[in-house]
Structure 1
């Protein structure tokens, strides 16, 4: 049987950490907690975890800096805990490569749902021919099973959520995908009102992807509807 997913919780609130560990443990997760950013970075880069939950508001080394240091060396999924209503922290976190965020105070049930949504997308089991075969929209090639992408032969370093969203768009290349469908298929959750996560992730993707010979980005915004991946 597969082992329980290993989750690292980085939060200086000891009481909250204990409560979340107990709840998530009962939901089938193996959770370890540390209470400062330096320890969080060290543990995150140890290769022992499937996902990390990081609180933004921590003394000394805050969650944004923790994320920055992790992203410099790893694409491990990271979920941020942000202050309720603090859009700046959310956008900065997403721009730095966070996979998702949950506003505090949060319910343990919502946190578990978000964690599971991320892990479903990043821990696919080996599948059939569709998963093994690359998706090609020249000059981009995407391998769903290996979760790797190349643009004109050059590998791209994408976060797990960027990869998920790009895969959805490439599978529907030439057709518009609504933001609601992107949220469901790429983030694993319904689109929330005023949620800018997808816009920020796709802005980052545009910077990482190359451009076509005529200067166009392959990802086009269709105002009021969603996005589409353009064929050259």
Structure 2
């Protein structure tokens, strides 16, 4: 079985070296670098299953590097940061990162989050379900091609956008709590200040345009509900 190849971008050797050894013992192949330039070189030369990015890097920071990664494709991203402020987490998740972990962290928690991201990235991951075409209003969501279109025009979605929309469309009419949505789409539970789902919903509504607020309803005190009439092919 091929070992998943992870890119670890961390400028502190005291963190990077033992973390690399730990993840290698857990069955991963690790390329570790200390700055964004070296990370870009590694990305040009190799194929990776996941990028683990420290936000505070010398020179170009992790957010800028993630922006470049997102512009070039859908490589999953997990942020590491010594800063616990909500704004840093929100910015990272709004950029399309798959997860965010604050230092100091337990390596076992990092391992669990890595495995959850990789499971979701698999073609037959737990969120995707059977292949269907879902139609609601002028929209068509194709779970085989993982694409969304409106009246035939493609709408660009990140991997996180797609997973959230599919999760809600498959459960149309049901109220889903933030904890449920986070567990279904990101494979983890929310902490008391976690706004990942709120920001993901806001981003997805914008992608859906003027229909967004009518399709994705806020159920105050409970969570969100997909209100569109869904037909399945």
Give TM-score scaled by structure 1 length: 0.89
User: Structure 1: how far apart are the matches of 2:41 and 2:204?
Assistant: 27
Q: Deviations over 1:53-106 (max 9, x none)?
A: 100011100111111111122221111112242222111111111111001111
Q: Runs of 5+ in structure 2 lacking a partner? A: none
User: Structure 2: how far apart are the matches of 1:81 and 1:203?
Assistant: 23
Whether 2:22 is the aligned partner of 1:14: answer no
What is the DSSP-based 3-state SS (H/G/I as helix, E as strand, rest coil) of the residue aligned with 2:68?
helix
User: Structure 2: how far apart are the matches of 1:133 and 1:45?
Assistant: 35
Matches within 5 A, 1:52-63: 52-63=51-62
- Check 1:153–1:66 CA distance in 2 against 1; reply closer, same or farther (3 A cut): same
What is the DSSP-based 3-state SS (H/G/I as helix, E as strand, rest coil) of the residue aligned with 2:228?
coil
What is the DSSP-based 3-state SS (H/G/I as helix, E as strand, rest coil) of the residue aligned with 1:142?
strand
Query: 2:220 is matched with which residue?
Result: 223
Query: 1:138 is matched with which residue?
Result: 137
Query: 1:206 is matched with which residue?
Result: 205
Matches within 5 A, 1:62-81: 62-81=61-80
Does the 8 Å CA contact 2:205/2:213 hold for their aligned counterparts?
no
Residue 126 of structure 1 and its aligned partner are, at CA, apart by 8.5
Deviation beyond 6 Å, 4+ runs, structure 1: none
Does the 8 Å CA contact 1:75/1:158 hold for their aligned counterparts?
no
Does the 8 Å CA contact 1:44/1:52 hold for their aligned counterparts?
no
Does the 8 Å CA contact 1:45/1:70 hold for their aligned counterparts?
no
Does the 8 Å CA contact 2:119/2:125 hold for their aligned counterparts?
no
The 10-residue stretch of structure 1 (118-127 or 176-185) with the greater mean CA deviation from structure 2: 118-127
What is the DSSP-based 3-state SS (H/G/I as helix, E as strand, rest coil) of the residue aligned with 2:52?
strand
CA RMSD, Structure 1 to Structure 2 (Å):
2.2
Does the 8 Å CA contact 1:4/1:29 hold for their aligned counterparts?
yes
